[in-house]
Amino acid sequence: MSQSIFTGLSAFPLTPADDEGRVDTEGLQRLLDRILKADVQSIGLLGSTGIYMYLTREERRRAVAAAVESINRKIPVIVGVGALRTDEAQALARDAAAEGADALLLAPVSYTPLTEEEVFRHFEAVASATDLPICIYNNPSTTHFSVGPDLLQRLSGIAQIQAVKMPLPKDMGFAQEIAGLRARLPAEFKIGYSGDWGAGEALLAGADAWYSVVAGLFPAPAAALTKSACRGHAAEVDYLDKAFSPLWSLFKAYGSLRVIYAAAAHLGLISARPPRPILPLAADVMAQIGAAIADLEG
């Protein structure tokens, strides 16, 4: 893998906040300290699990400042700056840059369904707001906009746009998708995946990065899986992935965000709840959390 910020394992911690949406910066720093003990290549701050869409501009800036302080330049921090309005995303990008972020993660968040031209111009405008490199956050299940190959190619023509975070392909056809994308994108453009349960396969198929929710809480086993996969050791990946499989089942059933909040609470790391309307898992599901993460605790 190259020296790009957008390679290897990127750990996405949740952003603990109180019920009014005020970020618990000490709780966030505890989660970051845990991540920094493992062999992780970057921090993905304020991703979907980091509830970026549920926090105000002020609280997002506080979270970036606290994270940059904690990380202390050991590894790069990629900050989610998605917003419904273009001017707000630009302001968030400037805030992140001012607080010391190394890169930006930008999702085409939508309410009114957007056209490709609108999304292109949105990215262009946010790119112009700072000098930071940008990873396109392609996550149709939350943004309700799918960045297709044509638009991706066009966006890759903007110098700062250097990577994409892809959702899992429907048929898990990573090799074909990656080959198709590489044929259309600049050689140095990085293709990474989110959707934790497909990450081993994605990396084995040649993906550049794993944007990982689970690494935000269990960085060591995620780092081991990443290394085995990047070295092409399929049998090791299979073995290491088994420890995650009860968690993958819960992710698929209840959403990774709700499950990771429950796991963090189970470990005694945070007491924050997800932002309403999102509810904590019901008691009967909570009871399954301990067993699901038993093999992942160091």
Residues that bind its own copies (CB under 8 A): 19-21, 48, 53-54, 84-87, 108-109, 111-115, 117-119, 121-122, 125, 141-142, 144, 255, 257, 274-279
Provide the minimum distance between the beta carbon of 265 and its own copies in the complex, in angstroms, as a whole number.
18
Of 128 and 176, nearer to its own copies (C-beta) is: 128
Identity of the residue, 89 or 229, whose beta carbon is nearer to its own copies in the bound complex: 89
Q: Are 266 and 227 in contact (CB under 8 A)?
A: no
Least Å from the CB of residue 49 to its own copies? 9
Q: How far is CA 249 from CA 178, 245, 258, 268, in A?
A: 26, 6, 13, 22
The number of helix segments (H) and strand segments (E) in the chain equals: 12, 8
Q: Which is nearer to its own copies, 41 or 256 (CB)?
A: 256
Q: How far is the CB of 21 from its own copies (least distance, A)?
A: 7
Q: CB-wise, 26 or 117, nearer to its own copies? A: 117
62 versus 122: smaller Cβ distance to its own copies: 122
34/122 with CB nearer its own copies = 122
In a 10 Å sphere around its CB, with 0-12 CB exposed, 13-18 middle and 19+ buried, how is residue 113 labelled? exposed
Cβ atoms of residues 199 and 225 within 8 Å: yes
Shortest distance in whole angstroms from residue 140 CB to its own copies: 10
Q: How far is the CB of 229 from its own copies (least distance, A)?
A: 27
Among 123, 129, 172, 112, residue whose Cα is nearest residue 147: 123
The nearest distance, CB 114 to its own copies, in angstroms, is: 6
- The separation between the first and the last C-alpha atoms of the chain, rounded to the nearest angstrom, is 27
Q: For the beta carbon of residue 33, count every other beta carbon within 10 angstroms.
A: 11
CB 208 within 8 A of CB 163: yes
| For its own copies, the closer CB: 51 or 270 | 51
**What's the closest the beta carbon of residue 51 comes to its own copies, in angstroms?**
8
Burial of 19 (0-12, 13-18, 19+ CB in 10 A): exposed
- What SS3 class is residue 8? strand
| CB atoms near residue 66 (< 10 Å) | 21
